[in-house]
A and B are shown apart, each in its own frame.
Chain A
Amino acid sequence: MDVELSEILDTLCEYAPFADLKDEPILQEMVKDIEIQYLRVGEWAIAPEARNDNLFFIRSGAVETKNKSGKLLRRMHEGDVFGSSSLLRGGRSSHTMRALEDSLLYRIPARWFIQFYSEFDSFSDFFELSKEVRLKTAVDSQSSDLSLMTCPVHSLLRRPPITASHDVDIKTAANIMSNERVSSLLITQNDALVGILTDRDLRNRVVAKGLPLDVRVDMIMTQDPVTVDAGDFASEAVLKMMATNIHHLPVVKNDRPIGVISTGDLVQRESHGSVYVISDIYKQEDVEGLVQISKKMEHVFTQLVNADANTQMIGNAMSHIGVAFVKRLLQLAEREFGPAPIPYCFLALGSQAREEQIISTDQDNALILHDSYDKNIHGDYFRELSDYVCKNLDRCGYPLCTGDIMAMNPRWRLSLSDWKKTFAEWIEKPKAEALLHVSIFFDLRGIYGDKTLARQLNSHIRELAKTNKGFLSALARNANQRTPPLGFFRQFVLDGEGKQSRTFNLKSRGIAPIADLVRVHALALGSSKLNTFERLEDIEEAGVMPDGRARDLILALEMIGMVRIKNQKNQIENGDSPNNNVNPETLSEFERRHLRDAFNIVSRQQEFLKYRYPGKG
């Protein structure tokens, strides 16, 4: 090309969808046909009722889109394109576009849009794919996992398949499963795979429906299940499982089943490094040893990130490690202070309970004591035990909770009955303000001791919560308090001061709002799940959200989580202490665009939450 307009070409090529066309000579021809337009704030790029014959590229400034009834649909900034939908409808425009600030626009005549649209898949894909699909593609391409990419599916198989013939009855099938300790059973007919039966099927299709146990298994199995070929790369299996939302994937070779891989297999594969850490933790005979191991945690974390594990795998691995520290400390404590005089259960709260822990999280924990607890007799023992655990966790890299939500705080060391009363108080007389400080208690997992105490408390909470509208709407209101930083591309709605003033917090503005809003739905459903991804699956199954929206949130969480994790990895590698703050300028165009899509999804789901659980203000 003549060098003279290369500056304009270069700018276009920094952004999708032009970036993919940057080596196409035809793009240089297009640049010569651009018209440039300066708009003052408030002027129309596409006025109401006007025809549109251009694709617009925002070179500087900002433009807002509204629909016919005047509702704001989107704010667009430097590098965004608009006008495509009216071009695809022959120029009829249903949205208006107006400058939000003084803007410089490049107008690309319609004929170029139409030519590129028909010639280049990457170009048409960009416009065809809805925001959500674009995000999914992004998540998929990010989790294109090095190790999983290169290892074939059959290398993940650990045992021959457990199968049953299609004509056995349910009871026989269930017996095989429990004898073999598997959560899924392949159903065959003349050695060919015809179906799959999972724990969940037995629960949902048999027990819940009250079906007799002599019904033949082929009446309730999933027929013609999705399978993966033994020679396929494991990453394809991951994508299939994600796309179809299943947890067990039969592996076939020449149509014969040779095994099953489960999400668990993939997690273990990805976090095998962390499995060693866990066994190391249990080998330590004193706190000093644990402190030494804790120094390796950043390394373990960066290893997981570098192995391209997804956020769910990393959250899972880091939480299990965190739990191992707690358990080992409790074992050492019981060695020092003697066995507990009465049953108790140590609780993980918040992200550790949800199995979404990452590096550098404060400890949040509590203690349930058996109802035979007598403060005068047992008080000292549990005070010493809790002090020991919490203070040593602090030494192991899990700082004391600034909100004092810890077992060492006597307020959070209660008997089961007192816990039940406390929760009943919170749920039946909800005060939004007060709930804000205790929302963390609604993600609660027993990790050591008598876990039936935790289970009883959880089912008590579930029973109360799901019928209590006032509580749900108070919780919903709280969940909407922290909003995603939608304007951050240009307006920089940034948190904080000083050193971090050019950053925003991915946890409080992205991940926490998702966890919060998902918790409300999950409690309303009475779901027993704690993990946000798993809760979303329950939510999807129950149809609480409009079709597909739960999947969108899963993708949004994965996207935001991935940016956070990679950011932390970079901080560690630069010798900084990892935190949740990200500087938008350090993000790639890819990350920025998809992060914004993700935030848009969160924002819409916050709106939905408001509508779903309305309450007095």
Chain B
Amino acid sequence: MNPKNVPENWQEAYAQLAQECQSPALRRFYEAGVPGLSKPLAETPLVSLDIETTGLDSSKDDVISIGLVDFNLELIRLNSARYWLAKPHGPLTPESVTIHEITHSEIQDAPRLSSLMDDLLEAIAGKIVVVHCAAIERPFLYQAAMKHYGEPLMFPMLDTMGIEASIIHKPWWQRFGRQPSLRLDACRQRYNLPRYRAHQALMDAVSCAELFQAQAAHHLNKKHLASDYSC
């Protein structure tokens, strides 16, 4: 199993992972399953997650902050918000600092990501994780689990970027000119959502949750199963 091959059937995959898994925290996570996946979207408990990293390569770069917030199609509850800083193994590159604005001194005393993994798993267990760009978030979290537990971490995701791409998708003969941007901020503007400063993990998580609510309100069928939209 690796982050490039997403299982067809998550229920089966979770059951198998729960059996094979050695670390108690991961086993608890898989045993909780993803009950929401087989429920209508409107009844599914969701958690929006965003990470900031030192770069884009999950094999070399580190996660330095994580933000998440529970929500559903009605409400985003800020009192459930969690935010962690994590100390990277390598130095921060100036390029990455200009993006996320987290500096050396701020993360010097932060814990390593490893020591946060148990808490992170607990916070997302039993919910469906919503991200903007699963292709980045998924491998980083997979790597983090491999480093800490020596075992894989995989879970279904709702990807607002993927959903937006399918919403604005047009067959090639109808396309002309530049393709619309799929950046978080660009997607939000299509729904009359306010502009936020980007690249702060918790605000990005809130921002992604708002976008998902808007997408659901406009384009998704709330009675359909969450699994119809997940990846």
Whether B203 lies near A7 (C-beta < 8 A) is: yes
Contacts of A353-409 to chain B: CB distance below 8 A: none
Whether B78 lies near A33 (C-beta < 8 A) is: yes
Whether B81 lies near A4 (C-beta < 8 A) is: yes
Q: Is B76 an interface residue (CB 8 A)?
A: yes
Q: Is A460 an interface residue (CB 8 A)?
A: no
Whether B75 lies near A4 (C-beta < 8 A) is: no
Q: Given A4-B202, A40-B217, verify A60-B78 contact (CB < 8 Å).
A: no
Whether A4 lies near B192 (C-beta < 8 A) is: no
Q: List 30 A-B contacts (CB under 8 A).
A: A2-B83, A4-B83, A4-B201, A5-B78, A5-B202, A7-B197, A7-B203, A8-B78, A8-B206, A11-B194, A31-B78, A32-B79, A32-B81, A35-B75, A35-B76, A36-B71, A36-B75, A36-B210, A37-B75, A37-B76, A38-B191, A38-B214, A43-B217, A60-B192, A60-B194, A101-B192, A102-B217, A104-B192, A104-B193, A104-B194
In the bound complex, residues from chain A placing their C-beta under 8 Å from that of B194 are 11, 59-60, 78, 104
Q: Taking CB as reference atom, which chain A residue is nearest B217?
A: A40
In the bound complex, residues from chain A placing their C-beta under 8 Å from that of B193 are 38, 60, 104
In whole angstroms, how far apart are the Cα atoms of A11 and B81 in the complex? 18
In the bound complex, residues from chain B placing their C-beta under 8 Å from that of A60 are 192-194
Provide the A70-107 mask, 1 if CB < 8 A to any CB of B, else 0: 00000000100000000000000000000001111001
- 14 other contacts beyond A104-B194, A104-B210, with CB at 8 A cut-off? A3-B200, A4-B81, A4-B200, A5-B202, A32-B81, A36-B76, A36-B209, A38-B213, A39-B217, A40-B218, A60-B192, A60-B194, A78-B194, A102-B217
In the bound complex, residues from chain A placing their C-beta under 8 Å from that of B83 are 2, 4
Q: Is A315 an interface residue (CB 8 A)?
A: no
Whether A7 lies near B196 (C-beta < 8 A) is: yes
Whether A7 lies near B78 (C-beta < 8 A) is: no
Q: Is B77 an interface residue (CB 8 A)?
A: yes
Q: Taking CB as reference atom, which chain B residue is nearest A10?
A: B197
Q: Which 5 A-B residue pairs are closest in the complex by CB-CB distance?
A: A4-B202, A38-B213, A36-B76, A60-B194, A102-B192
Closest Cβ–Cβ distance, residue A26 to chain B (whole Å): 15
In the bound complex, residues from chain A placing their C-beta under 8 Å from that of B81 are 4-5, 32
Q: Is B152 an interface residue (CB 8 A)?
A: no
In the bound complex, residues from chain B placing their C-beta under 8 Å from that of A11 are 194
Whether A38 lies near B210 (C-beta < 8 A) is: yes
Chain A residues touching B, range: 20 to 34
Contact pick for B78, options A32, A40, A61, A103, CB 8 Å: A32
In whole angstroms, how far apart are the Cα atoms of A103 and B74 in the complex? 13
Q: Is the interface of A mostly helix, strand, loop or mixed?
A: mixed
Closest Cβ–Cβ distance, residue A2 to chain B (whole Å): 6
In whole angstroms, how far apart are the Cα atoms of A61 and B79 in the complex? 24
In whole angstroms, how far apart are the Cα atoms of A513 and B85 in the complex? 59
In whole angstroms, how far apart are the Cα atoms of A101 and B193 in the complex? 11
Closest Cβ–Cβ distance, residue B65 to chain A (whole Å): 9
Q: Is A34 an interface residue (CB 8 A)?
A: yes
In the bound complex, residues from chain A placing their C-beta under 8 Å from that of B79 are 32-33
In the bound complex, residues from chain B placing their C-beta under 8 Å from that of A103 are 192
In the bound complex, residues from chain A placing their C-beta under 8 Å from that of B75 are 35-37, 107
Whether B214 lies near A102 (C-beta < 8 A) is: yes
Closest Cβ–Cβ distance, residue A101 to chain B (whole Å): 7
Closest Cβ–Cβ distance, residue B125 to chain A (whole Å): 22
In whole angstroms, how far apart are the Cα atoms of A11 and B177 in the complex? 36
In the bound complex, residues from chain B placing their C-beta under 8 Å from that of A7 are 196-197, 200, 203
In the bound complex, residues from chain A placing their C-beta under 8 Å from that of B76 are 35-37
Provide the A15-55 mask, 1 if CB < 8 A to any CB of B, else 0: 00000000000000001111111111001000000000000
In whole angstroms, how far apart are the Cα atoms of A32 and B81 in the complex? 8
In the bound complex, residues from chain B placing their C-beta under 8 Å from that of A38 are 191, 193, 210, 213-214, 217
Q: Is B67 an interface residue (CB 8 A)?
A: yes
Contacts of B56-113 to chain A: CB distance below 8 A: 67, 71, 74-79, 81, 83
Whether A5 lies near B203 (C-beta < 8 A) is: yes
Residue of A36, A38, A43, A59 contacting most chain B CB atoms (<10 Å): A38
Closest Cβ–Cβ distance, residue A98 to chain B (whole Å): 15
In whole angstroms, how far apart are the Cα atoms of A2 and B203 in the complex? 12
In the bound complex, residues from chain A placing their C-beta under 8 Å from that of B201 are 4
Q: Given A38-B213, A40-B217, A40-B218, verify A4-B203 contact (CB < 8 Å).
A: yes
Q: Taking CB as reference atom, which chain A residue is nearest B71?
A: A36
Q: Taking CB as reference atom, which chain B residue is nearest A34?
A: B78
In whole angstroms, how far apart are the Cα atoms of A11 and B194 in the complex? 11
In the bound complex, residues from chain A placing their C-beta under 8 Å from that of B192 are 60-61, 101-104
In the bound complex, residues from chain A placing their C-beta under 8 Å from that of B67 are 4
Closest Cβ–Cβ distance, residue B206 to chain A (whole Å): 7
In the bound complex, residues from chain B placing their C-beta under 8 Å from that of A33 are 78-79
In whole angstroms, how far apart are the Cα atoms of A521 and B133 in the complex? 65
In whole angstroms, how far apart are the Cα atoms of A333 and B197 in the complex? 67
Contacts of B198-231 to chain A: CB distance below 8 A: 200-203, 206, 209-210, 213-214, 217-218
In whole angstroms, how far apart are the Cα atoms of A61 and B192 in the complex? 7
Q: Taking CB as reference atom, which chain B residue is nearest A102?
A: B192
In whole angstroms, how far apart are the Cα atoms of A35 and B72 in the complex? 11
Q: Taking CB as reference atom, which chain A residue is nearest B216?
A: A38
In whole angstroms, how far apart are the Cα atoms of A60 and B203 in the complex? 16
